[in-house]
Structure 1
Amino acid sequence: MSWIRIRRSGVLLLALVLSGCINQQQQPQPAAPVEPVTPPVNVPQPPKAEPGQNVPPPPKMQPLNWSATVSPLVGQMLKADGINAGNVLLVDNVKNSTNGSLQSAKATAALLNSLENNGQFSLVTPQQLAAARQTLGLSADDSLVSRSKAIGLARYVGAQYVLYSNAEGDIKSPSLQLQLMLVQTGEIIWSGSGAVVH
């Protein structure tokens, strides 16, 4: 029994020694304030223009003769088979698919002038077209002109035909493509193209 008492005493002594080793919890030290360091920002200074140094002018738009370009094409179109006289025609804005800036509004105006008093079609007026574009949420200068949008616009204004036009190629020598489409089916009933006259 003495070994048991010694063993128990040893365990108790060990427990007392270990319990005396527990340190008091230390209070956390306040953190030292850290000041953020902002890296220096190097702003590049624009080069100063010296007096007398000229800025090059933007490239000039080449004058294009839209009337001379569209007249022969419109003449061919009016002689095409399958056109019923007296129907309403919507002339959509000329789409610019060239590699530069093109005065497509002048091209559209030349198409409208060439089709006035043609004897085949009644034209949708620019006012009707502008109102329809606004109602359908299309801007007047919609650069995403597509055949489906043109047909949808023609249906909205009650036209039976739509003239879709696209200027394409190099801006120095563009070509104009015209397509007369039947609104009801979307069928292209006439197509023609020609070089734009300078």
Structure 2
Amino acid sequence: MTRYLKYSSSLFFACLLSGCVLNQSQKPAPVEQGNGTTTPPLSHHPEQKTPTIQNPPPITAPTTQPQPVPEVPKTTSIDWAATLQPLVANMEHTKGIPAGSVLLVDRIKNSTNGSIQTDNANSALNQALSGSTFSLVTADQLAQAKKTLGISPNDSLNSRGKAIGLARNLNAQYVLYTTTRGDVRAARVQMQLMLVSTGEIIWTGSAKASY
């Protein structure tokens, strides 16, 4: 009987100790809030960074290279009176030209490699012919004839057909062509006198321009 009691006491204490160990190993229950809900454990979320917006580079206008300024052609000064008077004097000695014949003077054509003072040249040519044996077609008569035939007032009559048509409209017997050729710094002046009735060139003269 005494042995049985000792064995029972030892078993009781063993059970008691094992119960304490089991209670200590269990995790504590979650704490309930007053409304009966369970608060979940807090979780930590990493902070999200706002992406940085970079400003685009400024737009600059494309640089343009300055365009070279074209050079103005140099105008060569020719002594037209000294150049044209000897040619006109030579033309007057052409045989078979009756005094007082009507002459249509074409504007001087520039065929050089530069620029010449054509207005001064035409004035000097008419001045040289003013004391000749020819009767010159006036500027007003020429303008009226061009208007009648539908020719531009600025037409230089480079076409022989136009010149003959104008000369016949003006009852002119002769047409005078004058052209400058070659290097503008050493130009040559050529004259041709044409008979309107046949279209034949009855005289030609050429001389170096005087400067």
TM-score (norm 1): 0.68
Residue 71 (structure 1) aligns with:
85
1:51-62 matches, cutoff 5 A: 58-62=72-76
Does 2:161 correspond to 1:148? yes
Instruction: State the partner residue of 1:194.
Output: 207
Extract unaligned runs of 5+ from structure 2: 1-60
Aligned residues, how many? 151
- Following superposition of structure 1 onto structure 2, how do residues 65-104 of structure 1 map, counting pairs within 5 Å? 65-104=79-118
Say which one has the larger Rg. Answer: 2
What TM-score do the two structures reach when normalised by structure 2? Answer: 0.64
Q: Residues 88 and 159 of structure 1 are in contact (CA less than 8 Å); yes or no, is this contact kept in structure 2?
A: yes
- Are the counterparts in 2 of residues 166 and 177 from structure 1 also a CA contact under 8 Å? yes
User: Structure 1, unaligned stretches of length 5 or more?
Assistant: 1-42
Cα drift, residue 144 of structure 1: 6.4
| Alignment-derived partner of residue 47 in structure 1 | 65
Q: Residues 158 and 168 (structure 1 numbering): CA distance in 2 closer, same or farther, change over 3 Å?
A: same
Look up the SS of the partner of 2:88 in the other structure. helix
Which of 115, 124, 133 lines up with 1:110 in the alignment? 124
Q: Distance in 2 between matches of 1:79 and 1:131?
A: 31
Q: Which has the higher contact order (CA 8 A, sep 6+)?
A: 1
> How many Å separate the matches in 2 of 1:121 and 1:93?
17
Shift of 1:76: 0.2
Sequence identity percentage = 53
Q: Over aligned residue pairs, what C-alpha RMSD do you find?
A: 2.4
Aligned-partner SS, 2:147: helix
